Every structure is written in C-alpha cells, then in structure tokens.
Structure 1
Amino acid sequence: MGRITARRPITRITVGTEEGDRVARRSDTLTVEEPLEIRVGGTSLAVTMRTPGADVELAAGFLVSEGVISRGDQFRSAIHCGGPGTGGPLAGQTENTYNVLDVSLAPGVPLPDPDMARNFYTTSSCGLCGKASIDAVETVSAYDVSRDAAVLDAATLTGFPDRLRAEQAVFDKTGGLHAAGLFDAATGELVVLREDVGRHNAVDKVVGWAVLNDRLPLSGHVLMVSGRASFELVQKAVMAGIPMLTAVSAPSSLAVELAASSGLTLVGFLRGASMNVYTGADRIRVSEAEAVATAP
C-alpha cells in the first residue's frame, strides 16, 4: 500500500470485561493524509489534503471541477516536483516527496486566471475552501446534463452501495476513507472506484480517470459516493457531465438547489431497499409503483 496507509502504536481500552477494564498495546493501520500542491505551468493553484495515490487523476479532476479543462485532450502531462521547499512537512530535503504536482496543459489551452488561485489550502473535508466569493463557486459547465437520457431501474440502484463497499480495500484496513464510484447506467456495472481521506478528492480522482482515458463527458453514468451529497459534489458531477449523483447519506439544501437547476438527478439516503429522490425522479424506473399519500 506504500504511503496510502501507515502503522502507528495505540493503546486499546476495553471497558467492563469479566476481568475488569482491559488495556492492550498494539499497532493500528491509519489512512495517510498529506498535502498536495497542484501547480499549472509552474504556478501554484491550490493545496489540498489528500491520501497519496492517483495524484495525476486528482489534479485532472480538480481542473475539470474548476472549469480549467473540459476534455481529455486539454490535459497534456503532469510530473511530481522534488527539491528544497517542495516537501510539505519534509521541506528542506532534496529528495522528491511526491507532494507537489506540476500540470502541463495542451498547447492553446488558456492557463488558469491568477484570481482562481486558492488563498489557503483545501482541507480533506472541504472542496471549496479558499474561494474568494460565492460567485466563484458557481462554475459554468461545458455540458448540459439536463438533456441526458440515462434511465435505470430503482432495483439496480439499490445494489450500488454494497458494490461500492465491497471494493473499498483500503477502508477495510483503516475505516477512514471515503469512496466514489462511477457506474454505467445502462448495465449497472461499476466502471471505476477511488478512495481518499477527502470525499471531494475521491470524486476528483474518478473524474480525473475519465480525463486521462478521454471519457468526458460522462453521460449515461451514475456517480455514487459513500457519504453525504454536498454542494461541491453536485458541482463536480455537473462539470464532468454526469447526470446522476447518489449518496448513502443526506444532501444539503444548496446541493438540491443546484441539482434542480442543472437537471441532475440527486438521490440521498440510498440504503437497503429505499432511497430519497430529491430531483430528477424521471430517470429512475419503478415497477408496479403504488401511489402513497403525500406527507405535509
């Protein structure tokens, strides 16, 4: 697993055993969290806290979310930088600590506006930290997801959380990672899954995978996330041309508003045999639907 996980000594306390409270000392596996500075053309754009691994995908997906690129052919290459001052916690060492990534865009693709640069780092729980204003958050997508004709059965959708959980290899070791999975709406098959300490990073890695494989826009696909559906996750789905976002937990009010205005299907509390469809219910087929009185 390399730098994805780390072993640390802990004290394990169990209260109320037959012999009384039990204290044991052992090692525990933790999810690694380290900073990644994303540069474009040598100029710093943002610093995000992430789980190392798939850094190029993360950067590519981040650039899609920010509206810098919208197609795979606009992303040329990326390289980890080394040397003094590029090591985050290890700054001053000469070896490459793989915490700085410099992206090169394709010829003719405009560099990010200097005003886009984040004023401070993005934490693993926040995909929008550092934005200068609310207006800067409402990025305009190159794709119109409202026209996407994707439809799938509700019964197929209920199987997505278990499919996602079954593929979370690092979560099994640490219990400390979010997951994002991309499903084909036509077949219900899992296309790609990524894990990260930050839920927005996991989504960026999935979108970045699509960038590097020239799969944008991701029409006809469903994005499934292991946590809640926040505004920035809806925005990332729309920016990548994904027509459906499903989550095992709750959406925020702003997430629902953005989904409704964008024509994205938003599903929350997808657990067991039930789900809450907040927007775009016409994309979800039900069999022998029974009318139920609307609660006030």
Structure 2
Amino acid sequence: MGRVTSRTPSIRVEVGEDDLLRATSRPDTLAVEEPLEIRVGGTSVTVTMRTPGDDFDLAIGNLLTEGVLRRAEQVHQLMHCLDEDDSGAPTYNVVDVTLAPGVVPDLERSARSGYQTSACGVCGKTSIDAIAATSPYAVGEDPVALSPHVVAGLPDVLREHQKVFDRTGGLHAAGLFTPEGEPLVVREDVGRHNAVDKVVGWAARGDRLPLTGHVLVVSGRASFELVQKAVMAGVPALVAVSAPSSLAVGLATQAGLTLVGFARPPRLTVYAGAHRLGL
C-alpha cells in the first residue's frame, strides 16, 4: 500500500565550535505509525500501533501468541474493513477475522492481555505460570543444537535485511532463522512485539507452526512479552541484540527456551537453555 514510510519537513542542525550552528532545511523519511484494530467476527479484540504492511500476518500472529486462538486453521478468512479517514479515503486500519465453523475464541484472553506486557507491574510468578499453562507446545523438549559462532552472528544477518530501517532509522525487526543461520523471513515494525507477531503470522499462514528447530532473532531487548510470543509459537530459541528483563529470563527458564542477549560478534550472553549451545 506504499504506507511504510512518509516524508516530512525537518531542520538538520550541526553544532560547531563556540556553539556556532549551521541549520539546513530538508525533507526527512520517517517510519509510518498507524493503529490497527483486530476484530474477530466483528467484535473488536485489540488495537495496536504498527507500521502498515503484513497486516494479516500481524492479526493472526497476535491472536495466536496472545492465546485468543490455538491454531492457525481456526481462521477461515481475513479481510480489511472499508474504514475511511476524514477525507473519505480508505485507511486499511481494521482487519476482521472470520473463524472456521464451531470455533470459539478465548476473547477473555484479550481482555486480560494487559498483564502480559513488561510494563504491567503484576506478580512475575503469576504471569509465568499463566503462559506455561497456556502454551500448546512443549518448547523445553525441542532437541535443536545451536552453534555459538552462528548465533553470535545472527543479529548482523538480521540487520542486513532491515531495508526500511536503512531509510528511516526508526524500526525494530524480528527474523526467523534455521539453526544454520539461514534467514527464512524478516519483518520490520515500529513495535518489536508487532514484528514478532508478523513473523509468527507468516509461519501460521504457511502451516509452519510449531516452529520447532528454529531461532527467533529480535532487534533491541528481550522483554517478557517477546519470550511469551516465542513460547506460544513453539520457538526453542530467542536471540536479542540487547538485554533481557528478569521476568523474561524467568519465563524462558521455566518454559525451557534458550534465551540469548547481547549477541554481537564475537560475544553473546546466555541466560537460559545453555545446553542447546553445548555449554
């Protein structure tokens, strides 16, 4: 739809010696951020601020990783609603999901989803136990073996595929990799959680769930929410460029997920599931 980036006026200022300024007016390229409302059978489930694109993947990925749905085949059809902005132009900011006959979504999960974010301040053990009880996949039983050398280099490969970030400097990314380091899909978004949902939705629509034997790589830090989404998708390993949170480590440990942070060649830090890296 051509709405991933936009151009806006800006003033670039260079500060020289003795605080002398040189100001240059120029257009700048920004990442677009717009709301996406996800509906199930006409009922609003959630609204997330996202970068437009791959909206169907985002919708399915969100419903699966938040536990509203259990399997991708529960979805019968997806469509953009014909919502309009003030000028009467379509926005494509609402996706309605039609479920297969007989499927009853857990809409209460969407109402409770606030406790799943890293900023919620609720009891950590309660949150971890809830995800462990909800996940349909036994991540801890995944026997995949990983090379520390390959894992350390995954963020660099992810960065090579961040085409919109190159133009804006304002997007996060998530990518799905094989154990050998081959990228299968990379998605960008203003939100890390949205980028992960887009990856999971891509896998779900291709009948690839659970993501046994794969590695999920994310730009930035590893929050509790991202570990939750990895566990819900059956991913055995999550690699982040930056640090994890304490709650993320707790969930990874209990779920049996390998959690790696600060992956920047030639180093990485393993916080959970070190056995998959031969440590």
Match of 1:294 in 2: none
Match of 1:233 in 2: 226
Structure 2 residue 270 is matched with structure 1 residue 281: no
Count of aligned pairs between the two proteins: 274
What's the TM-score, normalizing by structure 2? 0.91
> Does the CA contact (< 8 Å) of 2:221 and 2:241 recur in 1?
yes
Q: Which shifted more, 64-73 or 162-171?
A: 64-73
Shift in CA distance, 101/210, structure 1 to aligned 2, threshold 3 Å = same
Match of 1:46 in 2: 46
Q: Which shifted more, 102-111 or 266-275?
A: 102-111
Quote the offset at 1:136 in angstroms. 7.1
CA distance in structure 2 between the partners assigned to 1:152 and 1:177 by the alignment: 28
CA distance in structure 1 between the partners assigned to 2:110 and 2:224 by the alignment: 20
> Does the CA contact (< 8 Å) of 1:227 and 1:249 recur in 2?
yes
Shift in CA distance, 38/156, structure 1 to aligned 2, threshold 3 Å = same
Q: Which shifted more, 149-158 or 30-39?
A: 149-158
SS for the counterpart of 2:3 is helix
Structure 2 residue 193 is matched with structure 1 residue 200: yes
Runs of 4+ in 1 over 2 A off after TM superposition: 17-20, 68-72, 92-96, 115-120, 126-131, 133-139
Structure 2 residue 135 is matched with structure 1 residue 141: yes
* CA deviation map 1:134-182 (0-9, x unaligned): 6578331000000000111111112201100000000000000000000
Shift in CA distance, 245/130, structure 1 to aligned 2, threshold 3 Å = closer
Match of 1:189 in 2: 182
User: Where in structure 2 are there 5+ consecutive unaligned residues?
Assistant: none
Match of 1:157 in 2: 151
Match of 2:257 in 1: 264
SS for the counterpart of 1:158 is helix
Match of 2:30 in 1: 30
Shift in CA distance, 150/14, structure 1 to aligned 2, threshold 3 Å = same
CA distance in structure 1 between the partners assigned to 2:116 and 2:2 by the alignment: 25
> Does the CA contact (< 8 Å) of 1:265 and 1:279 recur in 2?
yes
Quote the offset at 1:18 in angstroms. 10
CA distance in structure 2 between the partners assigned to 1:256 and 1:130 by the alignment: 16
Match of 1:289 in 2: none
Quote the offset at 1:110 in angstroms. 1.1
Quote the offset at 1:127 in angstroms. 7.0
CA distance in structure 2 between the partners assigned to 1:233 and 1:127 by the alignment: 10
Match of 1:290 in 2: none
Shift in CA distance, 197/267, structure 1 to aligned 2, threshold 3 Å = same
SS for the counterpart of 2:167 is helix
CA distance in structure 2 between the partners assigned to 1:181 and 1:235 by the alignment: 16
CA distance in structure 2 between the partners assigned to 1:49 and 1:37 by the alignment: 9
Match of 1:66 in 2: 66
Shift in CA distance, 130/19, structure 1 to aligned 2, threshold 3 Å = closer
* CA deviation map 1:39-71 (0-9, x unaligned): 001000000000000000000100111112233
Match of 1:291 in 2: none
* CA deviation map 1:100-121 (0-9, x unaligned): 11011222221233x334499x
Query: Aligned Cα RMSD in Å?
Result: 2.5
Shift in CA distance, 219/5, structure 1 to aligned 2, threshold 3 Å = same
